A and B are shown apart, each in its own frame.
Chain A
Amino acid sequence: MKPTSSDSCDGIEHVANAFEADAESHAPTSGAAGTPTGPLAGIRVLDLSLFMVGPWAAMLLGSLGADVLHVEQPDISWDQLAANVPPTINGTSIGYLSWNMNKRGVGIDLKDEADLSFFYALVGTCDVLITNMRTGVAERLGFGYDRLHDLNPRLIYCQATGYGTSGPRARQRGSDDALQALSGCWTTQGARDGLGEMYRFATQIDGTSGNVMAQAVLLALFARKRTGRGQLVEVTMLDAAATLQTPRLAEHVAGVRHAPQGSSAYCAAPDRAFECSDAYWIGVSAVNESDWEQLCNALTRPDLLTDSRFTNNVQRVKHRNVLENILEAEFRLRPSAYWEHQLSCNRVPWGSPLRWGVLKYHQQVTANNYVMNVPTAAWGRVWTGGPPWHFSSTPARVFGPPIPGIDTWSIQEEIQWSDRMNT
């Protein structure tokens, strides 16, 4: 067997090395793989998953310091990666680029016998395997849980599906848009008095499902410290989508029938965006009594504090329309700059819409490394989110996605595998 694209990629490899050298001068969490400092240093993950949910989970584990090996078909064309979901950069889906950061690339044809024996050897050296294949496919191809557990009893085998392996929807397609429609999240969002709408940046439930999958792996790794055993862990997008909506679903079970109400919160009031005299919007939240008192101070409306309709949160939610009408009139009297100052001085939680062009250089964002500009092997520098966790002694990292299959040979060397050995 031959690793992917290596013969055609010498030039690209050279470019990649140049980028790596360049990256070392940047923030410690950026750039090349290097020696991991994260909490999962020493853990190896085999990522067999495609598209977003599984890759996102594995991308997080890589950010936490695990050595993640992302498997692609050796002959895959770059314009087929991540199903070529648009847009592309240099012909490659930005989905592949963003969901496969923090990984090495390995080319394995799981339908090829020689490759399968390499795969089994690799499984013996891994702590975690990530898959999001349809129910039954992995078993048919020879890498179902039972088979791999026999090979490596310490292996944590984590599987994500849309809806689980049993039940009427078990064989249906699980995707972000499908789960948005099915999980009811559209019922709680939309313009005031308008129809409920879907979220147009369709990676919200995919990403959340990936987050749940990463949790499952971490929990099983923690349990293994005590038991010494690996296990099968299953997660579904349905559970992730439902749990993501915990507060709203709890309200529903308690009797609320949600209807879209623009920027207003359901559970507390006042908590919404108001238009200022300069036509800018400002979001203001009073989620508890002290916020409410401070807001009345900021508005110089102490009379509202003694109004019997607004004496506690339940009352304010009940009289939300009256309350919001009063506040709308107040906010319209002055420009946003006045309110930002007034709300800040009174320590009322507030925020206003920012756009990407501002965000990527915003002091609050850069001070916390919340977005990063990362060098890649063949796609130039790209922006992406910085690690969401900041560890005081085991910093996480971010580095660019692999050229598919680029690390196959070095991984074979590391595990001292050669196909001649097996023939």
Chain B
Amino acid sequence: MVGPYEHLSGPLSGLRVLEMAEGVAGPMTGRLLADAGADVIKVERGSGDYTRRWSPQWHGTGAAYIWLNRSKRSIRVESFAAPECHALASLSDVLIADHGEVDVGAIQDINASLVVGVVSGWGVEGPWSERRASELATQLASEATSSLGRVGDEPVRIGTDHASMSAAFYLMQGVIAALISLEPGRGQRVDVSLFGSLLHLRSTLWVALSNPDDWSGFHLDSYLRRPMYGYTCSDGRLHISLGRVDDMEALVKDLRMDFVLEDERWPLFRSDVAGVMGRHADSLHELWDRGLSRWTIAEAVGIIELHGGWAFPFLDFEALLADPHARDVGLLQPLAAPSLTEMPQLRTMWRFSDTPVGSIRPAPQLDEHGDDIRAALG
């Protein structure tokens, strides 16, 4: 233990991280580091990270806050320039900061070895570098919302906070990479933005748009497709993908969809893989719906798999968490430690054979560890 810091298990065991960030992206970066065994001290100003006040509340704290800030400790300060911040920075290996909220240069002057990960909305160069950003703003500007909904209608937001989460996933990579290359006494700064992260994740599409041989393929025409709702069985929705079906006619007959053979669209139907990748999926959709609606999901999956196709039910969150596989692998973990913010949590994402990660700890109450940390700082 170095001053206020603790030693935990995992690949980042012994790594000391200071987090001066709020919302989703910065805290998620800190959480990923905490998941891997770093000791993360979250510094909160005033009434704390604003996600504490997000809806819904779980025993007085925002549910998202509890998941984004698990396994961290919290200290409350008046400002990010407070003496405790500087004292902690001098003992830390990593600082995670929101662009524009923390005087990064001043902190680097205190500790030149520090790896500083900074998250911004639009990137720290260019005309928008100081412009405020949000999850929705960056989803819209990166055209990420064009793969949902219908052209001309209200834009449809990607359900998860895709820009913020991806920025966190990338920033975590950048911080570890910088630590790997670290020379003693020479830290460095890594910048990641919500906007840039979404643009990077769409790289496949940028390549597709470069100079394609033929203007088709789900990477190109998804803009104009109708929404993908899956196919309708008698007891729910099903996603199908038929690239490996050898004999479409046999599959159709086994599904008792002989009416398709008489349909003028049969020549398209017999070679279409359906689903997201089916070139003619939009115009063939109603034929599939008509045929599949006679079957339950389980029946349809059985028949389609028999012919080499793939079929997956649309599971909602409740069904996902109750899924026998999810239960078997322990996707959702009960939390043993008694705390007001005790709440089941997703397991950590990586399995290490040599440096396994420790157990998940609850998210902190505001300033829950402030006294201990201040005492250790002396």
Q: Report if A191 contacts B (CB, 8 A).
A: yes
B58: contacting residue among A203, A242, A254, A285, CB under 8 A: A254
List, in ascending order, chain A residues with CB within 8 A of B155's CB.
262-263, 273, 281, 283, 353
List, in ascending order, chain B residues with CB within 8 A of A253's CB.
63, 321, 332, 343-344
Q: Are A189 and B354 in contact (CB under 8 A)?
A: no
Residue of B nearest to A380 (CB): B211
Q: Are A268 and B123 in contact (CB under 8 A)?
A: no
Interface string of A232-244 (1 = CB under 8 A from B): 1111101110111
Q: Report Cα–Cα, A248/B320, bound state, in Å.
A: 13
Q: Are A388 and B160 in contact (CB under 8 A)?
A: no
B325: contacting residue among A163, A254, A392, CB under 8 A: A163
| Known pairs A231-B352, A273-B154, A349-B134; A384 contacts B203 (CB<8 A) | yes
Selecting from A16-24, A69-77, A103-111, A177-185, the interface stretch reads A177-185
Per the 8 Å Cβ criterion, residues 385-412 of A in contact with B are: 385-394
| Known pairs A265-B136, A391-B174; A88 contacts B125 (CB<8 A) | no
Q: Report Cα–Cα, A173/B124, bound state, in Å.
A: 40
Q: Report if B202 contacts A (CB, 8 A).
A: yes
Q: Are B142 and A231 in contact (CB under 8 A)?
A: no
Q: Are A221 and B180 in contact (CB under 8 A)?
A: yes
A387 smallest CB distance to B (angstroms): 8
A389: contacting residue among B14, B124, B191, B315, CB under 8 A: B191
Q: Report if A122 contacts B (CB, 8 A).
A: no
Number of A-B residue pairs, CB cutoff 8 Å, is: 513
Selecting from B74-82, B216-224, B256-264, B367-375, the interface stretch reads B216-224
Q: Are B343 and A200 in contact (CB under 8 A)?
A: no
Residue of A nearest to B138 (CB): A351
Q: Report Cα–Cα, A382/B212, bound state, in Å.
A: 10
List, in ascending order, chain B residues with CB within 8 A of A163's CB.
325, 329
List, in ascending order, chain B residues with CB within 8 A of A94's CB.
204, 207-208, 210, 212, 217, 219
Residue of A nearest to B357 (CB): A219
List, in ascending order, chain B residues with CB within 8 A of A166's CB.
328-329
Q: Are B190 and A392 in contact (CB under 8 A)?
A: yes
Q: Report if A138 contacts B (CB, 8 A).
A: no
Q: Are B350 and A317 in contact (CB under 8 A)?
A: no
A201 smallest CB distance to B (angstroms): 4
List, in ascending order, chain A residues with CB within 8 A of B135's CB.
265, 271, 285
Q: Are A90 and B213 in contact (CB under 8 A)?
A: yes
Bin chain B's interface residue count: 35 or more
Q: Are A169 and B355 in contact (CB under 8 A)?
A: no
Q: Report if B241 contacts A (CB, 8 A).
A: yes
Q: Report Cα–Cα, A268/B347, bound state, in Å.
A: 26
Q: Report if B146 contacts A (CB, 8 A).
A: yes
Q: Report Cα–Cα, A202/B164, bound state, in Å.
A: 19
Q: Are A363 and B173 in contact (CB under 8 A)?
A: no
Decide if the interface of chain A is mainly helix, strand, loop or mixed.
Answer: mixed
Selecting from B64-72, B83-91, B246-254, B287-295, the interface stretch reads B64-72
Q: Are B213 and A389 in contact (CB under 8 A)?
A: no
| Known pairs A87-B219, A268-B54; A263 contacts B154 (CB<8 A) | yes
Q: Report Cα–Cα, A220/B173, bound state, in Å.
A: 12
Q: Are B24 and A247 in contact (CB under 8 A)?
A: yes
List, in ascending order, chain A residues with CB within 8 A of B229's CB.
195-198
Q: Report Cα–Cα, A262/B155, bound state, in Å.
A: 7
Q: Report Cα–Cα, A394/B230, bound state, in Å.
A: 45
Q: Report Cα–Cα, A163/B329, bound state, in Å.
A: 9
Q: Are A219 and B317 in contact (CB under 8 A)?
A: no
Q: Report Cα–Cα, A215/B12, bound state, in Å.
A: 12
A248: contacting residue among B132, B159, B349, CB under 8 A: B159
Q: Are A164 and B195 in contact (CB under 8 A)?
A: no
B123: contacting residue among A183, A284, A350, A370, CB under 8 A: A370
| Known pairs A182-B312, A283-B136; A189 contacts B206 (CB<8 A) | no
Q: Are B132 and A347 in contact (CB under 8 A)?
A: yes
Q: Are A211 and B350 in contact (CB under 8 A)?
A: no
Can you offer 30 A-B residue contacts whose CB atoms are under 8 A? A85-B217, A86-B219, A167-B328, A181-B314, A182-B315, A186-B314, A189-B158, A191-B227, A194-B227, A195-B229, A199-B148, A215-B173, A218-B180, A219-B12, A230-B354, A244-B165, A247-B64, A250-B66, A251-B64, A253-B63, A263-B156, A267-B64, A273-B154, A283-B155, A287-B134, A318-B55, A364-B123, A380-B211, A382-B206, A389-B174
Residue among B24, B188, B192, B346 facing the most chain A CB atoms (10 A cut-off): B346
Residue of B nearest to A275 (CB): B154
B193 smallest CB distance to A (angstroms): 7
B214: contacting residue among A87, A175, A207, A281, CB under 8 A: A87
Q: Report if B170 contacts A (CB, 8 A).
A: yes
Q: Are B350 and A250 in contact (CB under 8 A)?
A: no
Q: Are A38 and B160 in contact (CB under 8 A)?
A: no
List, in ascending order, chain B residues with CB within 8 A of A272's CB.
136, 157
Q: Report if A348 contacts B (CB, 8 A).
A: yes
Q: Which 8 A-B pairs have the closest CB atoms?
A: A351-B137, A188-B159, A86-B217, A367-B126, A285-B134, A231-B354, A389-B174, A200-B222
Q: Are A273 and B209 in contact (CB under 8 A)?
A: no
Q: Are B199 and A349 in contact (CB under 8 A)?
A: no
Q: Report if A344 contacts B (CB, 8 A).
A: yes
A310 smallest CB distance to B (angstroms): 13
B152 smallest CB distance to A (angstroms): 9
Residue of A nearest to B331 (CB): A242
Q: Report Cα–Cα, A186/B354, bound state, in Å.
A: 36
List, in ascending order, chain A residues with CB within 8 A of B239's CB.
177-178, 180-181, 198
Q: Report if A212 contacts B (CB, 8 A).
A: yes
Per the 8 Å Cβ criterion, residues 64-101 of A in contact with B are: 64, 85-91, 94-95, 97-99
Interface string of A350-373 (1 = CB under 8 A from B): 111111100110011111101100
List, in ascending order, chain A residues with CB within 8 A of B213's CB.
87-91
Q: Report if B32 contacts A (CB, 8 A).
A: yes
Q: Report if A381 contacts B (CB, 8 A).
A: yes
Q: Report Cα–Cα, A34/B195, bound state, in Å.
A: 28
A40 smallest CB distance to B (angstroms): 6
Q: Report if A338 contacts B (CB, 8 A).
A: no
Q: Are A191 and B150 in contact (CB under 8 A)?
A: yes
Q: Are B346 and A243 in contact (CB under 8 A)?
A: yes
